[in-house]
Amino acid sequence: MIVEKLEELFALVSAQHLLSHAGPSRLNMATLLPLILIASVLAIMIDYGYMLYLHFKMPPGPLPLPIIGNTHLLPDSKPWIYFEQLSKQYQSPIITFWTGRRPTLWICDAWTANELLDKRAAIYASRPRMVVFSELGAGQSNLVNMYYGDRWRLHRKLTHMGVGLQQVRNYRGFQNDESKVVAFDLLREPTKYVSHFERYAISVVSIIGFGRRVAKYTDPIITEVIAVMQRAAELNVPGKSFPMLMESFPFLAKFPNWMAPWKQGLGKGQGRGRPFFYALAEEAAQNPNTDTCYAKKLFEEGPKHDLSRMEISSLSGNLFGAGSDTSSSTLVTFVLACCAFPDALPQAWEELDRVVGPHRSPTFEDEPNLPYVKAFVKEVLRWRSVAIIGGQPHAPIKDDYYKGWFIPRGTWVQGNVWAIHHHEREFPEPDRFNPDRYLKDSPDHRPFPGEKGYMTFGWGRRVCSGQGLAEQGTFITIARLLWGFRIEKALDEKGNEIPVDIFDFTNGLNMRPNPFDCRITPRSPEIRTTIDREGRRALQDLSRFDGIGGMAAALTLGLRGHRVVILEAAPKLMEVGAGIQVSPNMLRMFERWGVSDLIHAQDVALEHIHVRRWEDGSLLATMPVNKTFGQQTVIHRADLHNALIEKALALPNVELRVNSLVTGVEFSPASVTLANGSIVRGDIVIGADGIKSIIRGQLLEDPSLKAIATGDAAYRIMLPRSVMETDPELKALIDEPQATRWLGPGRHIIAYPVRDHQMYNVVLLHPDRQEVEESWTTKGSKQAMVDNYAGWEPRIRKLIDLVDDDEVLEWKLCLHRPLKTWIRGSVALIGDACHPMLPYVGQGAAQAVEDAAALGVLLSTISSRHDIPRALQVYEQSRKLRAETVQQSGSDNRITLHLPDGPDQVARDEQFRASTTGSNPDKWSDRETQRILWGWDAEKVALEAWIEASTEGKFNASL
């Protein structure tokens, strides 16, 4: 329009006037300004005449005023409610509202939205001019803002490579696991439900986009993503306040920033996202181990389509807009609905109990059999839709007519999702949460255009790209939370329920409830147990990290200032749910490394060791735990693993790379070759890759470990407290800070509580006749376990009865001959890669930690790379004999514990009865053996060996 050009000219002239100093300039301005003023008045009159012309041809709405249109009528917040009221006032499904001189059509009816935006999608697929969000932001580099055309089609195609409907089904696995983690987190911190939802939603998108899981709600990526998304939402709410008024008066955008207080904070809010998202994408693309992430695909496609940095940043960042903010806000709305409308819950519980039961949570495969739960999810999406004004405005690419009304080309066309979802024709009592609306046989069901029954994700060719991802994740998470929890209003100090306000929502483009308190509790003890079990298993499945020895080495080297890169072969690694004994020689290192507090938060300090007969449980001995060398504790393997992970990866000089399968190693200088052909170089390579070590085979030029079958195997089971505490005998076992050994012919059992007495770890060792199998665990048979322990005391049968058949894991136990060497050049082995341990003295993890400790202190003693081979020689000298001695003691102890019935067994039992604090046949609890094992200081011994070797020149020149 003419007025717009004159206004822009006026802005430029005004700026020139403020900057002018010379007299002639003042004279020129004195002559020019009246002319501009006269021209402006004429232009305003002409422009207003055109506004009135359009006003009477377009759908009804308030009469606009010159220049400002209807802007003075806009409310300060939640304008969608005002537009809904206007629609009712004018009795029209579509209204025209003028913001400045720009008309906006607000569609307040589902059928009209369907006709214009879906059926006429080819016309309404473009965007209007947007000053704040586009011209002052990413412009035509962002799919969200782009005018309809070839570049838009390209960006849409690239987006579908990440979150298209064909892709999202591939994401069900980790979406399912992440939703299990949400339920597990709510067991521990129910009041932090908003943070858990945000972590979940952002983690899912981060895995897809960047191959990076977000494990904690304190992760900085969450803070940054939320800040960027919230700022974008705030900038897109029609209202009176700046900077949105620049959409009404675009000439305001022409003023320099220092003259324009209405631009304050605008660049900061929008600009922070571009470098952030590009940096995430670039880092992921350059990582050779993130083979399937979306960012890598973008960088591969970039040269083909001449993608700019801005475009890559926008495509990456749009994933979060498409799948994170909407998903987390929807889950908060779900919690509000549960609190405000508890009468909607019993029918969901009945359906879930009937179809799913308490011993597993819902799966995607259950969806066809859960019609009410599906209806519940749809009602959440309708009742308080997140994208409350349907996202960014549409714009017709040509003039159009609807029911005789004129819709000019380029007009802002906005779907008022609030009004559409609260129209009483389709949704009687629209503010009442009522899932029955979506059951076709219900009297509350009404016709609605389309198959879904809601318009939460937009329309036509501009429908939200992440719709499939969001719907998929919303279903499985809401279904799991409905199944698992009672979600109720919070109570005040007098025990009265605190009301929740179903209208107290934020004012952004993406609407969510303002903070409110609630109660979230498991629906039953059985369900609590299932949530705990599945949550921990999901965490293990999502875990992508090295073992205990490798993480201990990364931690101690990282703490000493070395740069450490951890290469993990798998994209995810299933950790065995087993207990670990944290003996004093191990705990001593953890205390020095500052990780003991994390461990003590999860472990159980043992006070006694009970030794019992197999057939009747009679007590042979009760021995207090020897604390001469420090405390003996027990812990769940995953908890120890996670403590080391958390501490190590908190260091800026420790980096984890997943999907990094090592296929080759060079020894001097040290490097490894990965399966994808890339080479990783370093000053030293530490092989912590377990009993099937690739590095060991090449170091020794012999891939075999020369495993010899012991003839034994071990069942590992982990029982939750909830299944034991109903039986007084079993409750006593998990309550007491004690380990119990049951000894029998050819067999024995050791058991103890972990996780603050919330889990009971049981290891059942028994004869095994199968072929040697060097995998860590195999699937076991519950019936075989029952047969192996037939005739044992009643408590053992009770423990076995509590185990689900699919929970039985069996570990094949093998002897391993000592290796001729652990080192070569600048490469060293640690842990199971060089000395796999039997479980009979509880030192497997401890010896791996001792290896790491020795390496840490030795590599921090040398002053030159040339000293690395010398340091590794001392490492082997200080560790090899020690570890092999511990290996042998485990083999010897096996014979003692598994004596057959007869005089030798009787003599052994008499020794137990005679001993309480001194020598006894079990090397694990024998005081002299404990002195040798527990009194060892790996760092001190390694340092002394270095000093001795340096003084006497004891180094092998051949290395």
Other Cβ atoms less than 10 A from the Cβ of 501: the count is 11
Alpha carbons within 13 angstroms on the beta-carbon side of residue 360 total 12
What whole-number distance in Å separates Cα of residue 695 and Cα of residue 692?
Answer: 9
Residues 6+ apart with CB under 8 A from 906: none
* Whole-number Å distance between alpha carbons of 736 and 819: 41
Q: Which two tokens stand for residue 247?
A: 């959409």
**Does the annotation flag 108 for ligand binding?**
no
Find residue 814's DSSP bridge partners. Answer: 709
Task: List, in order, residues 6 or more apart from 814 with CB less than 8 Å away.
Answer: 707, 708, 709, 710, 772, 774, 836
Amino acid letter at 54? L
Residue type, 219: D
| CA 413/CA 407 separation, integer angstroms | 9
> What one-character DSSP code corresponds to residue 394?
B
Strand order in the sheet with 94-99: 94-99, 102-107, 412-415
Q: What distance, in Å, lies between the first and last C-alpha atoms of the chain?
A: 83
Give 629-650 as a 3 state SS string: CCCCEEEEHHHHHHHHHHHHHC
Report the alpha-carbon distance of residue 849 to residue 851 in Å, rounded. 5
At 229, give phi and psi (nearest 5°). Answer: -65, -40
CA dist 539 → 184, 411, 520, 656 (Å) = 9, 50, 21, 17
Active site residues: 716
Output the DSSP codes for 232-272: HHHTTS-SSSTTTHHHH-GGGGGS-GGG-GGGTTHHHHHHT
Write down the residue that tokens 């604090």 correspond to: 917
Give the separation between CA 658 and CA 651, rounded to whole angstroms. 17
Q: How many CA atoms lie within 13 A of 334 on its CB side?
A: 28
* Chain Cα centroid distance, residue 284: 16
Q: Closest Cα partner for 933 from 480, 600, 466, 584? A: 584
Which residues make beta-bridge pairs with 387? 510
Name the residue with tokens 């670039």: 282
**Contact indicator for 534, 182 with CB cutoff of 8 Å:** no
Task: Give the pair of three-digit tokens for residue 609.
Answer: 């060791």
Helix then strand then coil, % of the chain, to nearest 5: 50, 15, 35
DSSP per position, 406-430: EE-TT-EEEE-HHHHHT-TTTSSST
Contact 196, 217 (CB under 8 A): yes
- How far apart CA 423 and CA 88 sit, in angstroms, is 10
Q: Pick from 70, 123, 68, 66: which is nearest to 96 by CA?
A: 70
CA distance 909 to 614: 12
For residue 33, give both structure tokens: 């300004």
| CA–CA distance, 113 with 107 (Å, rounded to integer) | 6
- Laid out side by side, the sheet with 633-636 consists of 579-582, 633-636, 604-605
The dihedrals phi and psi of 896, each to the nearest 5 degrees, come to: -65, -45
Residue 99's DSSP bridge partners are 69, 102
Whole-angstrom distance, CA of residue 84 vs CA of residue 419: 5
Looking at residue 367, its amino acid is E
Point out the annotated binding site for heme.
Answer: 464
